[in-house]
Structure 1
Amino acid sequence: MDSVQEEPNVTSNGNPSHIQDKPKSYIKERIISSVVLMLYMCANVSSVPVFTQYIHSRYEDVYSNGTNSSSTSPNKQSPCLANNSEEADEVQVLVQQSTSFEILKLSLCVQIPPVIVNMVVGSYSDHIGRKLLFVSPLLGCICKYVVFILVVKFHLHLNFLILGTLLEGFSGSSSTFVLANMAYAADVTKTHATRTFAIVIADSSVSIAIALGQVMTGFLIEKLGYFYPSVINTALILLATTIVIFCLTETVKKTEVKELSPVVHLKKVFGFYVNKSRGNKRCIFIACLAVYALMSVGFNGKYTIETLYQLGRPFCWNPVKIGYYGAYSTVFMTISGLVAIKLGSACVRVEILAVTGMFLLMGSLILEGLASTDAMLYSVPLVASISAVSVPVTRSVLSRMVAAHEQGAIFSSMATVDTLCGAIGSTAFTSLYSATVETMRGMAFLVIAGVVFMAAMVKIVVIVKSPRQPGYVLLQSPTEDEHAHNPDRILPEGENNTPCSSTDKGPVII
């Protein structure tokens, strides 16, 4: 497969007159893909607090003998604040446990099917193109919201939500959409420096979109209930789908898929981690995937229970507070991560920044688990600060270790692990939260901190065992990028002399 990025940017006689043409031709693609990414994430990630708050409100109605107030009276006072008696505390525990169980069912429905989908869809996209990876999860998200709108409008049984989340799950869900964006970012970048920056920018776009979505959703729920926010989010997804179909440029030259067997594509997706011919790189692949898996378990577990944690005592936050906190947390950590990458990468290896972010994330999780006041909870993002760089750095390392025609496969392996570990994290920590909500509500956050600690230890071992490479400034094109297409360039000591890829000849920085 020949992607657009592999087309030569110099003439056969060595005339460099076209060297600057290729980067300019990618500006449109980067802007459009970022807009689509922001629209999708703004709408889709908002579904977690919307669904959680709606289900929580429905169970408050049930246990408080309410009637349909969750959709008709969004400004009603929450039973969490209305009564501080021992009986009210017992009711709140029941509400939290019931909501946890419903969220667990929905999480499994939306996370288990993508494990199967992502095993092969990324590898196929290296032949049939990237657009399918964008369109499929967009349509799945529309189905999820349409079912939710019907449940809210007609006050249907909560089990109907399972249908919508299953449809989204079999479309690939957000993990396939992230796979599409990361593979697309790799297609439109030529060097490991610009690729890392593109992936960090993509993650930052996600963060901005999430912040906007959470603020908007919080206000709309408080003023209008749960129906209209869902309608607006559906409209955003429809807009993103239209842009992908009619405006997004395909970056892959479609070729015939010579082998349709999923087994062959599974071997492509997971061959990086089992193929002994890759030499010492195989250990790096495995270690990076282990770090990525542990971080996925932690992040998915945290995000699944965080809104529920804020809804309960002693916080009893309303939708506006939850939206404000989500936006503030996301924006602050994103800006901190970008500043850390920009300034810190000139002095230390970015992997050092990633490990530092993991330890800060651990501290923030411990603080969140022990929080008893709003002020303590608002301090959590301050402690976490640069933790947002940990996952993008790991993605970038894996991406630049493979060839251009393997980008779909490598991101498919990450998406598969992300969905599988997401299901594990959501299940484990939602169950733990439900079991400990009556005794120690923050216990789940403390256990997540332990998972992040294990990821940090693995990353430290990799850094210590890997030879220090000279080119660790990621936001400036290193000198070796000028010779990125020189097949005779000798790699630094510790690497194979066979080039890592046709588009990325830079040293592997671990």
Structure 2
Amino acid sequence: MKGLFLVEPVVALYAFSSFLIYPLVQQYVYRRLWVQLTNTTYPISDNSSRCALNGSNNQSNYNEEVQRQASLFSLYSEVLSTIPSLVVTLLLVAYSDRGGRKLPIVLPLFGTLIYTLSFLTVSYFELNVYLLIGSSLLSSLFGGLGTFIGGCFAYIADLCDDGRQKTLRMAGLDMMIGLLSGVAAISTGYFLRAAGFNWPFLTSALFLCLNILYVVFILEETIKKLPTEGIVLDGSPQPSAIKQIVCGVYWMFAGANSRTKTVLALLILVFTSFSFTYLGGLSLITLYELNKPLCWTEILIGYGSALSTLVFLTSFLGVMVLTNCGVPQLLIILLGILSVMAGMVLVAFAKTTLLMFIVRVPMLLSIMPFPVLRSMMSKIISKSEQGTLFACLSFLDSLTGSISSAVFNSVYAVTVAWCPGFVFLLSAGLCAIPLFVLGVVGLIGVDVPKEYENPDPVSSSEEKPADEHNENSPLIS
């Protein structure tokens, strides 16, 4: 049976299975730490807030201590799983230029399955909650979200030659993440209240198994390997994969002129600095909602997570409309960064349930910079280096995400007693860094470098006229 060149179902199933348990992870750890530190049962109420159950000073002190311990738990988990995940991401996604795109897609699915089954085991048998840190480390050996996303975006880059089509399809992947994770987040709260933690973890594991079967047996490979690939005529092996990957990263920069290298480096800096500020603030919203004065229940957290994931859909629509209207790419990125700044400032001062829902509105365009930046960088890199590019981006994205989580969790643990919203003000302030770098990119200009207009050394005569008229066009029309 002939396979399909559709990676969107893979992203959709992964988003649903991951976000079915993602809101539960912090809640499960929070409840287990509450029981462990207070020697009392976790207060559960059918009301919209748990604050009425935590009114005494003693309970308030307990709440602050649990908040600190939960944030430190997230810190330890992130730090211990960061290095293996980063190494695997860089190796797998870069190697996909030769070994195929399916490898960096399917291995993280196995890692996530291990992570989910570990949570199910700890929850079902009520094992020590700190065993989950070890399961996080084990699953990172298969790669993480960065590996998976990097493989999927490289897969899309293989299929799309047109810059506008590439931008929209990459934004479409982000939209799929938002749609399915939103549906999962809404159902999580009701699922938890009706069936406890075990059934959501089991359901997530089943969807991951279904996803693995799709990737292995249905998804078509975009990189076609020759039967003799990997050996030379005398039968000796070629240079090691690691050496080839290092050389690929080197030549991605060394093979370009100085202007192209400068633009690429600045775009990567915008990407990583924005990822640092956005993911750092976003990672603490659930803990902030569990804290006083909000004290949200699992139902409200599910609705809040679903509303937050709506930004993927609205950001896709924003990219599609603005791109079709001819809005410059840098302006689209600027609007996305300003959206995050406004949202984070409002989150810092949200003290009621209504305001906490309203603050999601200014952040509806916050995902727009990511697909636009990926497409811009992909456009100035030759086809043979797409895997290397997305390996670097996934590596840096995972690195900045882990560092930001560690930094922001540490800051939150220190400031939660006197200013819980300080971390969100910090996130908004740090958005000035990508804004400044973006301004520098605007001054330099982002035209397509001439040497990358037709990256393939051998092109048909029919393709050349189509490329020649783009000589002075913007990076992405």
TM-score between the two structures when normalised by the length of structure 1: 0.84
Name the residue aligned to 1:29.
5
- What are the Cα deviations for residues 428-462 of structure 1, in whole angstroms up to 9, with x where unaligned? 00010111000000111111112222112211221
Q: Is the 8 A contact 1:135 1:244 kept in 2?
A: yes
Shift of the 433–205 alpha-carbon distance from structure 1 to 2, 3 Å rule, reads same
1:357 touches 1:387 (CA, 8 Å); kept in 2?
A: yes
Whole-angstrom CA distance in 2 between matches of 1:117 and 1:278: 30
- Other-structure match for 1:153: 124
- Pick the aligned partner of 2:36 from 62, 79, 96: 62
1:368 Cα offset (Å): 0.5
Whole-Å Cα distance in 2 between the matches of residues 322 and 430 of structure 1?
19
Q: How does 1:329-340 map to 2 (within 5 A)?
A: 329-331=308-310, 333-340=311-318
Give the CA deviation at 1:187.
Answer: 1.4
CA offset at residue 95 of structure 1?
Answer: 0.7
Q: Give the superposition deviation at 1:263.
A: 3.4
Change (3 A) 1:113 1:485: farther
Identical-pair percentage: 26
How far apart are the structure 2 equivalents of 1:245 and 1:289? 32
Which amino acid counterpart does residue 51 of structure 1 have in structure 2? V
Query: Are 2:407 and 1:428 aligned?
Result: yes
| RMSD of equivalent CA atoms | 2.5
State the 1:295 CA deviation.
1.8
SS at match of 2:380: coil
Change (3 A) 1:382 1:487: closer
Aligned to 2:142: 171
Deviant stretches of 4+, over 4 Å: 73-80, 482-488
- Give, in angstroms, the shift of residue 338 of structure 1: 2.8
Match of 2:234 in 1: none
Cα shift at 1:267: 3.1
Task: Name the CA distance, whole Å, in 1 between partners of 2:280 and 2:130.
Answer: 22
| Contact preservation (8 Å) 1:199, 1:396 | yes
In 1, the alpha carbon distance for the partners of 2:48 and 2:128 equals 23
Change in CA separation of 1:413 and 1:199 when aligned onto 2, cut-off 3 Å: same
Looking at structure 1, the residues matched to 279 and 179 of structure 2 have their Cα atoms a distance apart, in angstroms, of: 19
Deviation string 1:4-27 (CA, Å, 9 cap, x unpaired) is: xxxxxxxxxxxxxxxxxxxxx99x
Q: Does 1:413 align with 2:392?
A: yes
| Distance 1:76-1:348 versus aligned 2 partners, 3 A rule | closer
> Matches of 2:74 and 2:462 in 1, distance apart?
51
> What's the CA shift string for 1:203-227, capped at 9, x where partnerless?
1111112111211222111221111
Counterpart residue number, 1:473: none
Aligned residue runs from structure 1 range 383-394, under 5 A: 383-394=362-373
Q: CA deviation at 1:409?
A: 0.6
Q: Deviations over 1:282-338 (max 9, x none)?
A: 01110111011112212321232111111111111111111111112222x234323
Q: Which deviates further from its counterpart, 358-367 or 458-467?
A: 458-467
Q: Does the 8 Å contact 1:294/1:455 carry over to 2?
A: yes
Flag the 1:467–1:266 CA change in 2: closer, same or farther, 3 A. closer
- Tell me how far 1:266 sits from its aligned partner: 2.1
1:215-364 pair list within 5 angstroms: 215-255=186-226, 256-257=229-230, 258-273=238-253, 275=254, 277-331=256-310, 333-345=311-323, 346-364=325-343
Distance 1:452-1:45 versus aligned 2 partners, 3 A rule: farther
Deviations 1:157-213 (A, max 9, x none): 112102221122111111111011101111111211111111011111111121112
Q: In the alignment, does 2:412 pair up with 1:438?
A: no
Measure the CA separation in 1 of the matches of 2:57 and 2:177.
Answer: 42
Matched, 1:207 2:174: no
Aligned 8 A contact 2:93 2:387 in 1: yes
Aligned residue pairs, count: 454
Residue type at the aligned position of 1:317: W
Q: Show the 5 A alignment for 1:426-505.
A: 426-466=405-445, 485-486=464-465, 489=468, 492-493=471-472
Q: Which runs of 5+ in 1 are unaligned?
A: 1-24, 470-481, 494-505
Match of residue 103, structure 2, among 123, 127, 132: 132
CA distance in 2: counterparts of 1:432 and 1:417, whole angstroms: 22
Superposed displacement of residue 75, structure 1: 7.1
Partner of 1:17: none
Distance 1:429 1:46 in 2: 24
Are 2:86 and 2:398, in contact at CA under 8 Å, matched by a contact in 1? yes
Q: 2:250 & 2:125 partners in 1: Cα distance?
A: 45
Q: Does 1:41 align with 2:3?
A: no
Q: 1:180 to 1:414 in 2, by over 3 A?
A: same
Cα distance in structure 2, aligned partners of 1:284 and 1:36:
32
Provide closer, same or farther for how the CA distance between residues 430 and 485 of structure 1 changes in structure 2, counting only shifts above 3 A: farther
Deviation at 1:264, TM superposition (A): 3.3
Q: CA deviation at 1:489?
A: 2.1
